[in-house]
Amino acid sequence: MKPSTPKGTRDFSPAEMARRNYIFDTVKAVFRTHGFAQIETPAMENSETLMGKYGEEGDRLIFKILNSGDYLKDVTDLPSFASRPSSLVPLISEKALRYDLTVPFARYVVQHRNDLTFPFKRFQIQPVWRADRPQKGRYREFYQCDVDVIGSDSLLNEVELVQIIDSVFGKLNIPVTLKLNNRKLLAAIAQEVGAPDAFVDITVALDKLDKIGEEKVVEELKQRGISDASIEKLLPLIRFQGDTQQKLAFLATFLGENELGQKGIAEVQTVISTAQPLISPNTVIELDLTLARGLNYYTGAIFEVKSNLPNTLTSTICGGGRYDDLTGIFGLPNVSGVGISFGADRIYDVMLEAGLFPSSAQEGTKVLFVHFGEKEAQYCLPLVKQLREAGIATELYPDDAKLKKQFGHADSLGIPFVAMVGDSEMAENVIGLKDMRSGEQVRVTVKELVERLS
C-alpha cells in the first residue's frame, strides 16, 4: 500500500509550519489588540446544528460521520433507499465535521448565553472541512481564522472589522481590495424589480457579468425564472458603471422610497466614510453590488477580500458579513452578530507565490553541539542547559558520529552555529564555536558563547 493523505488534505513540514505559524501569530496578535478572546469548538457537531445553514450547495459539501456500532439498526427496508440515498443519511449519521466556524459559534453563544457578557468578541482559529473537489487554492481541510462580535447592532463593529483587515494584511505586506456590499441593498433591488424572493438568483447572475457579459446574464436570469418585466427593470443596474460614490448615488434614485434600500445605502455609506480615515493605503475599499456570498445567514454588510499582488491567487482570502438572527435558529432570537474569516491556507499560498515570508519566519535551532563520544556529550549537557536557560535554541547531537556527519546535520537543518567540545577544549575550559555561514571559527568561554548567541 502506498501511503497518502486523503484527497484535498495535506501534511505540513517543519518549514511549512514555521511559515503557517507566522500567519497565525500575526492574525492572533491583531485580534488580541482589538480585545477579542479565543475559543475552540469540537471538530464535529450534531448534524442538525449544521444542516440547512449554508444553502443547498453547502449541505452537499458537509462531511457526514457514519454512526458508530450498528449504524443500520434504525434502517428498515434498505433497498427502498436506493432511489433516494440522501434520505438514508439522517438514519445512519448524526454527526458531521464543521463546515465553517460561524455556525458552531452561534451554537456556542446560545448554549453558553448565561456565561457570556455581550457584546461578546471572540476569535477562533481551527480547521474546517468541505467535501469539495480540490483545486488551486481549494482544499478539503483548511484553517479559518474567525473574528466575530455578537450582541451588538452598531456599525462600529463593521468598521472595526475593516480596520482588522487593514491591519492584518498590512502586517503581512499583502495589498488588498476589500469588496463591500450589503444584503439589504440586494433585497431592496429584488423588491424594486418585482421579484422579492429572487435576490439570490439575481445577485448570482449579476456576479457573472464580468465573466459572461450582459446577454448571457439576461439569459441566466430567465433560466432562473425571473420575469421579463423584472429583467427589464434590472437592465439599468446591470449596465451601470461607476465608482463607489457614483454607485451609491445611482442606487439612491434606483431604489427610490424603498425603506430597506435606503437603510442599506446609509449603512454602506457610514461604514465606508467612518473606516476610510482609519485605514492605510494598503487597503482599497470598493462597493461591489455583484457580491452576494452563498451563505444563507447574512443579512447586512458582506465583505470579501482579494490580493492585489500580481501573479498571485485571485480567489477570496478573507470574507464575512453580518447575520441578524443566526442564533435564533438555536433558540436565542434578536441577537445580531458580524464577523469575518481569514483563509489561512490561501493567504499562505499568496505569500509563498509573492515571496513575502520573512527569514524570521523560519528560525529554528541556533546552535548545535557536536562532540566526539559519550564522555564529551556528558560534558556538553550542562553547557547546553545553560544556553537554553539564556533563551538560546540549542541542540546536542545525540549519537556518536563522525564530525563530518554532525556538521552535515547542522548544515542541512540550516543551523547557523556549531559548538564543538573535544579533549583540547575540555582541557582549556573553552568551546569551539563555528559560524556556519562565514566558516569562521573561534574559541570562547561559556559566558562569551552566551553573549555571542543572545
Partner RNA sequence: GUGGUUGUAGCUCAGUUGGUUAGAGCGCUGGAUUGUGGUUCCGGAGGUCGUGGGUUCGAGCCCCAUCAUCCACCCCA
Contact residues toward RNA (CB under 7 A) are 4, 7-8, 55, 57-58, 61, 100, 130, 132-140, 142, 144, 204, 208, 211, 292-295, 304-305, 315-319, 341, 343, 345-346, 372, 402-405, 407-408, 410-412, 418, 420, 422-425, 432, 434, 436-437, 439, 441
Residue 73 CB, nearest approach to RNA (Å): 26
Beta-carbon contacts of 403 under 8 Å, excluding residues fewer than 6 positions away, are 370, 372, 420
Using the minimum distance from each CB to RNA, give the nearer residue, 318 or 387. 318
Cα-based torsion angle of the residue sequence 238, 240, 243, 249 in order, rounded to the nearest 10 degrees: -110
Rounded to a whole number of angstroms, the minimum distance from the CB of residue 301 to RNA is 14
Q: Choose between 251 and 340: whose C-beta lies nearer to RNA.
A: 340
Query: Is residue 198 a contact partner of residue 224, using CB atoms and an 8 Å limit?
Result: yes
* Rounded distance between C-alpha atoms, residue 137 and residue 140, angstroms: 10
CB of 416 to RNA, least distance (A): 8
**Cβ 63 to RNA shortest distance, Å:** 12
What one-letter code names the amino acid at 38? Q
Nearer to RNA, 204 or 446 (CB): 204
At its nearest, how many Å lie between RNA and the CB of residue 169?
Answer: 12
Give 366's DSSP letter: S
Write down the least CB distance from residue 381 to RNA, Å: 18
Nearest distance from residue 435's CB to RNA, in Å? Answer: 8
Nearer to RNA (CB atom), residue 255 or residue 319? 319
Alpha helices (H) along 276-402? 344-354, 374-389
Contact 206, 217 (CB under 8 A): yes
Which residue, 206 or 255, has its beta carbon nearer to RNA?
206
Cell of 379: 560534558
Query: Cell triple for residue 370?
Result: 557536536
Nearest approach, Cβ of residue 249 and RNA (Å): 28
* Identity of the residue, 361 or 403, whose beta carbon is nearer to RNA in the bound complex: 403
CB-count burial class (<10 Å; 0-12, 13-18, 19+) for 116 = middle
Least Å from the CB of residue 212 to RNA: 8
* 3-state SS class at 312: coil
Alpha helices in 244-373 (DSSP H): 244-254, 259-275, 344-354
Nearer to RNA, 15 or 229 (CB): 15
Of residues 395, 397, 394, 392, the one with CA closest to residue 377: 397
Closest contact distance (angstroms) between CB of 123 and RNA is: 15
Dihedral sign (CA 127, 328, 86, 88): positive
Nearer CB in complex with RNA: 100/267: 100
> Which positions ≥6 away from 102 have C-beta within 8 Å?
146, 148, 295, 297, 320, 323, 326, 339, 341
Provide the 3-class DSSP secondary structure of residue 228: helix
Q: For residues 383 and 420, which CB has a smaller minimum distance to RNA in the complex?
A: 420
Q: Is the Cβ of residue 219 or residue 425 nearer to RNA in the bound state?
A: 425
Our CA angle for 66, 69, 70, nearest 5°, is 90
Cell of 106: 452561534
Q: Would strands 176-182 and 367-371 be described as parallel, antiparallel, or unpaired?
A: unpaired
